Amino acid sequence: MADLSKIKQDHRRFKQIVRGKIKRNLRQYMTNGELTGKQGKELVKVPIPRIDIPRFRYGQKDTGGVGQGEGEEGDSLGDGQEGPGKGKAGENEGEKGLEVDVTLDELAEIMGEELELPNIEPKGTEKLQTIREKYSGIRSIGPESLRHFKRTYKEALKRQISSGEYDADNPIIVPTRDDKRFRSWKETSLPQSNAVIIYMMDVSGSMGDEQKEIVRIESFWIDTWLRSQYKGLESRFIIHDATAKEVDRDTFFHTRESGGTMISSAYKLALKIIEEEYPIEDWNVYPFHFSDGDNWSVDDTTECMRILTDGLLPRSNMFCYGQVESPYGSGQFIKDLNEKFTIEDRVVVSEIKNRDAIYDSIKTFLGKGL
Amino acid sequence: MSLPSHLWEIKEHIREVALDFGLDPFETIFEIVDYEQMNEIAAFGGFPTRYPHWRFGMEYEQLAKSYEYGLSKIYEMVINNDPSYAYLLEGNNLVDQKTVIAHVYAHVDFFKNNYFFSRTNRKMIDEMANHGSRVRRYVDRFGIEIVEDFIDTCLSLDNLIDYHSPYMERRRKEETEALTELPKIRAKDYMEEYINPQEFLERQKQKLADQDVKNRRFPIEAEKDVMRFLIDYAPLDSWESDVLSIIREEAYYFAPQGQTKIMNEGWASYWHSKILTTKVLDDSEIIDFADINAGVLATAPGRLNPYKLGIELYRDIEDRWNKGKFGKEWDDCDDLEKRMSWDRELGLGKEQIFRVRKLYNDVTFIDEFLTEEFVAENKLYTFGYNKKSGHWEIDSRQFKEVKSKLLDQLTNFGNPFIYVKDGNYKNRAELLLHHKHLGTDLDMSYARGVLKALHRVWKRPVNIETLFDEKGVVLSFDGTDYSEHPTTYEPI
């Protein structure tokens, strides 16, 4: 019969190979963003190039085949994406590129290794404890619905044997009230570390689709990494042009406004959210701001710096600013930030010229381990 | 785990019924396994003792997942071996198990009696275990990375075998001794000039010269068993040569299963229906059986279900031979009404389907028994990809088109025809393969992958000539770079 450890070995080898492939191609995955649409709650589908064995075979789209069923000549059989395969009668091995499910934890681990990201030392770990109730205890009183049959039986058996009532030829065990045992809960306290990411994005007219796509890809990887570092992770989304408002994730990536740009409006709103909902003792706060760097006025920029220094920075682990390049923006804001915070470690800025720069940008943002 | 007694009795009963019907299976050992074991055995292609390789792990992951998500489960697994082994899935309901048992006996009958299986190793379970321990020994010595990598290489080449060679001795042309004298027709001296005129002698000379050139070629005839050629002539270490032989042997073992997919599944479906509905099921089980059977025979757009096509063809043949719908008289009759009511009451149906299962493979089966009426009745069509609309579309319902497309796909097991044309290409010990182009281009990116594997084995530059976009081209790989050169493509 099958030896279970054997398939486990082959399975482990397969996993190793997949992992190696992901690692080698991480930059490419980060650049083209194909993972971001395939994310579930805990798993992400990773398309693996060429893990199948190459063999001489016919080019696929030309071949077609024979089918069976209703329909007129010229009728469609469904769209080409799914494809009815080659319809050949032989084996159908390795038809499509393979998609492998990888847990987000695993992906974060691979990302951490490849980008050499340091682990984050969360703050608030000691203070914040969550209390979990687990039904792992036993008591002698409790409701019938929680009666532990096996333990009750054992108690009764013990009692009957020790009192000499037990008859091996006629082993009837009758529990009394004292024999009954019930499940009960035990409290365990788990250290909990929470983090919130506040994404802010400039949606003024100068931010195009490509710029937003870059932000979307970046946010996926930032989420993935920080989720692996904190037990509880929340994300909040703020869009702004001349005014700012909080939106959900979907709106965040799909809104386009045409107004001017007042960055301070977003920072004010972010500060308000943090002050109201995320007390500094319990939360690790990560504001990320993406813009093309074209602020309305010098005055507003001064205001931004003030909010950063007095409000956001003291309440955050770090502040990240990513500047995407757009044909319209002056790109001034990143210079202003650099000037103002030359010695401040916790302000991290990165210029993202195009998709190829995403990889390095992530590395810059997360490489400090703050 | 062996069968519990109630299943054992059912199995015995089904076996007796099968034998009464004339089936002639090997002895078959049934085991009952849970879904994890089933997935595992299936991942190994039926042989739990096979050599270690990551693709079995990949297969397992896919099977396990699709079972977990409820997309599919494997009902049955049967191994061509004497005795045969079959695995039943624990927890299936009784009607499922009965269906599977009958299905299995028909498969085993097919393994035992179909001509194309006649040269397969009937002790393959032992042989696979033997292969497994040999490979494991190499792994211990050289490490899993190196051995597995080489197995990957061999697997890239495992469809480059001669699917028909097990049944015939290929002529391996021995070096023919060069003729020193010009062959002439014997004639009296005075007739010499007329019997052997100058032109004739010139032609003979030319023939000899051609033969000489040909004899200097290597291989002398284009070789279809590329794997065999590599084992014989590639500079391989002994363990590499052994691994390549193992992969080749397993490819030949599995080949008939691919060559007879329609026939084999059709045969098994025909008999599970017949055995169950006539002798095994009681009335209360018929609905469940119909449900299972409908699942097995279901069709979907753009997919050909070999179970369905196979069973319908056997039934058609049985009906035709029962009624005498064959032969010259039948072929020549174009009176529709006469054809519809044709019945010579020959009753040869059963005999004929047993003959067919013995002597045919999918190609000859389709070629001989697929009829125009059958194609119309079973609503077969050809489909193709419409580049303009980006859809797969029904092309045609014409009998000729359907038949030729079907045969195209089955011929050579759906693989391109590849030959070794020259083992000393450019007089530099390079390898030249030839793709016999039958209307469809190769997938060039896969071809590159295969060339890389070939280079790993041949250790000198490797090339393949083919037609691409109707132009002759030689694709080459020298160990670091790929290149393409135009060539005049001459079919061999």
pLDDT profile of chain B (492 residues), mean per 10: 90 97 96 92 92 92 82 85 94 92 97 94 95 96 94 95 70 54 79 83 84 76 92 95 96 92 96 95 92 89 90 97 93 89 93 96 95 94 84 90 90 86 92 91 91 96 94 95 93 84
Between CA B106 and CA B76 the distance in angstroms is: 13
B389 touches chain A (CB under 8 A): yes
Which residues 31-70 of chain A have a CB within 8 Å of chain B?
50-51, 53-70
Question: What pLDDT is attached to residue A50?
Answer: 58
Residue B233 pLDDT: 94
Range in A80-89, A302-311, B355-364 the model is least confident about:
A80-89
List the one residue out of B12, B60, B18 whose CA is nearest residue B36.
B60
Whether the per-residue pLDDT at A134 is higher than 90: the answer is no
Query: Which pLDDT does position A38 carry in this prediction?
Result: 65
For β-strands A232-240 and A194-202, DSSP reports them as parallel
**Mean of pLDDT values over A189-199:** 78
- Over 80: is that where the pLDDT of A198 sits? yes
Give A84's pLDDT tier (boundaries 50, 70, 90): very low
- The 10s digit of each residue's pLDDT in B92-137 is 899 999 999 999 999 999 999 999 999 899 999 999 999 999 999 9
Flag whether pLDDT at A67 surpasses 90.
no
Q: Are B384 and B393 in contact (CB under 8 A)?
A: yes
B468 interfaces chain A, CB cutoff of 8 Å: no
Predicted structure pTM score: 0.75
From the list A51, A64, A91, which residue is nearest B384 (CB)? A64
Cis peptide preceding B306, ω within 30 of 0: no
Rounded distance, CA A9 to CA B52, Å? 8
Beta strands in chain A (DSSP E): 43-48, 65-68, 76-79, 98-103, 129-139, 182-191, 194-202, 232-240, 244-247, 283-291, 319-324, 347-352
Whether the Cβ atoms of residue A157 and residue A173 lie closer than 8 Å to each other: yes
pLDDT at A190 exceeding the cut of 70 = no
Cβ of B43 within 8 Å of Cβ of A65? The answer is: no
Cross-chain Cβ contact B158/A74 below 8 Å: no
Which residues in chain B have their CB less than 8 angstroms from residue A85's CB? 302-303
Chain A nearest CA to B383, separation (Å)? 5
Give the closest of A7, A74, A85 to B40, CB-based: A7
In this predicted model, which residue has the larger pLDDT, A259 or B133?
Answer: B133
Are A10 and B301 in contact (CB < 8 Å)?
Answer: no
The whole-number pLDDT of residue A343 equals 79
CA distance B416 to B160: 9
Q: Name the residue facing B301 among A6, A69, A86 (closest C-beta).
A: A69
The most confident of A167-176, A233-242, A334-343, B477-486, by mean pLDDT = B477-486
Nearest-CA distance from B455 to chain A in Å? 14
Q: If contacts are CB pairs under 8 Å, which of residues 4-33 in chain A contact chain B?
A: 4, 6-7, 9-17
B154, B247 in Cβ contact below 8 A?
A: yes
Q: State residue A118 phi and psi, 5-degree precision.
A: -75, 150
Taking contacts as CB-CB distances below 8 angstroms, the residues of chain A near B33 are 1-2
Interchain proximity A87–B160, CB inside 8 Å: no
Please identify among residues 308-367 of chain B the ones whose CB lies closer than 8 Å to any CB of chain A: 308-309, 362
Confidence at residue A112, expressed as pLDDT on a 0 to 100 scale: 87
The whole-number pLDDT of residue B232 equals: 93
Burial code of B420-454, b = ≥16 C-beta within 10 A, e = fewer? bbbbbbeeeebbbbbbebeebbbbbebbebbbbbb
Which pLDDT does position B387 carry in this prediction? 78
Report B:419-438 residues touching A (Cβ under 8 A): 435
Q: Do B60 and A7 touch (CB under 8 A)?
A: yes
**What is the per-residue burial (b if ≥16 Cβ within 10 Å, else e) of A90-101?**
beeebeeebebe
B152 contact residues in A (CB cutoff 8 A): 53
CB within 8 Å: A10 and B52 = yes
- With an 8 Å Cβ cutoff, are A58 and B299 in contact? no
Least confident of A94-98, A239-243, B257-261: A94-98
Residues of B with CB below 8 A from A92's CB? none
Mean pLDDT over A39-64 rounds to 74
What is the distance in angstroms between the Cα of B424 and the nearest Cα belonging to chain A? 22
